């Protein structure tokens, strides 16, 4: 389903729920379960943890959906709720100051591009990143959130989003390049 259509359908389902249509919640779950599960799976260490976090997210939504003032904000609310559940469960906090070797910042080579082409290798590399880096890369590249949407979701300024995204890409690149050096 195109993203715009999904957002419109989500907003309509929220309004239906708020007006007393109890079937609307099941439709919200059906509409968002897959993408929300994939998001949680990238953050959680196991599939079982991701399923538990998803259930926790649905319970929180069920308890608070009637309070949602702007139905168009449902996606951000879902991701924020899932994110908070994950952080609470694993008690992970992103560091205030991140430091990585500067030479990694903009190194680009044909080997770098080749490393990124292997999806399995990228997935393994993502698993090695700290949760805050894995999360920002996943939200930006896989869920196509804008910098502004990331800022709202992560509750940080846009400049910090840019910085975290930059360092997360550099860290991922370093892991991929390290792995590629062992292959050849």
**What local confidence, expressed as pLDDT, does residue 3 receive?**
63
Return the CATH number of the domain spanning residue range 102-183.
1.10.10.10
**Looking at the chain, which residues constitute the CATH 1.10.1740.10 domain(s)?**
3-90
DSSP run (H or E) holding 16 = helix 3-18
pLDDT in tens, 90-104: 764 444 434 444 434
Domain 3-90 CATH assignment equals 1.10.1740.10: yes
Q: Residue 137 pLDDT > 80, yes or no?
A: yes
Listed in order, the ranges of the chain carrying CATH 1.10.10.10 are 102-183
| pLDDT digits 0-9 by tens, 57-93 | 999 999 998 888 999 889 889 998 998 888 888 764 4
Q: How far apart are CA 88 and CA 136, in angstroms?
A: 17
What distances in angstroms separate CA 157 from CA 139, 141, 167, 169, one per listed residue? 16, 19, 16, 18
């Amino acid at each position: 389903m195109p993203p715009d259509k999904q957002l419109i359908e989500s907003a309509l389902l929220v309004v239906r729920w708020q007006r007393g249509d109890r079937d609307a919640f099941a439709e919200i779950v059906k509409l968002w379960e897959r993408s929300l599960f994939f998001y949680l799976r990238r953050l959680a260490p196991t599939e079982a943890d991701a399923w538990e976090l998803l259930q926790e997210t649905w319970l929180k939504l069920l308890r608070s959906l009637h309070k949602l003032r702007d139905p168009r904000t449902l996606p951000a609310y879902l991701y924020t709720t899932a994110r908070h559940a994950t952080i609470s469960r694993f008690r992970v906090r992103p560091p205030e100051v991140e430091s990585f070797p500067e030479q990694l910042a903009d190194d680009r080579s044909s080997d770098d591009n080749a490393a990124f082409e292997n999806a399995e290798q990228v997935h393994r590399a993502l698993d090695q990143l700290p949760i805050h880096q894995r999360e920002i890369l996943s939200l930006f590249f896989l869920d196509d959130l804008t910098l502004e949407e990331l800022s709202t979701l992560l509750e940080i300024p846009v400049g910090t989003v840019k910085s975290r995204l930059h360092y997360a890409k550099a860290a991922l690149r370093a892991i991929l390049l390290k792995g590629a050096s062992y292959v050849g």
